[in-house]
Amino acid sequence: LQGTFCRLSQGIETFAKFVPEGVVRNIIRGDHRFTRPHVVPRTVTVMFSDIRDFTSISEAMSLPDLLHLLTQYLTAMTLVVEKHKGEITEILGDGLLIFWNTPEDVPDHATQACEAALAMKQALISLNQKLAAARDPPLPQLSIRMGLHTGNVLSGNIGSAKKMKFGCIGDPVNTASRLEGLCKFYGTDIICSGDTSAALERDGAADGFLCRKLALVLVKGKKEATCVHEVMAFRDEGRARRPLMATAENKLLEELAEAYESARAAFHAASFGEARALACKVLERWPGDLATRRLLGDIEQVAHKTREELANWTGAVVISEK
Phi, then psi, of 56 in degrees rounded to 5: -65, -40
Output the pLDDT for position 240: 35
Q: Hey, what amino acid is at 252?
A: L
CA 322 – CA 180 distance, rounded (Å):
10
What is the reported pTM?
A: 0.90
With 0-12 / 13-18 / 19 or more C-beta atoms within 10 angstroms meaning exposed / middle / buried, residue 92 is exposed
What's the pLDDT at 292?
98
pLDDT at residue 91, rounded to an integer: 93
Cβ neighbour number for residue 16 with a 10 Å cutoff: 14
| pLDDT in the model for residue 133 | 87
Instruction: List, run by run, the mean pLDDT of 10-residue segments along the chain (322 residues).
Output: 62 66 69 78 97 93 93 96 95 95 95 96 94 84 97 93 89 95 96 97 91 92 89 70 59 95 96 97 97 96 89 89 68
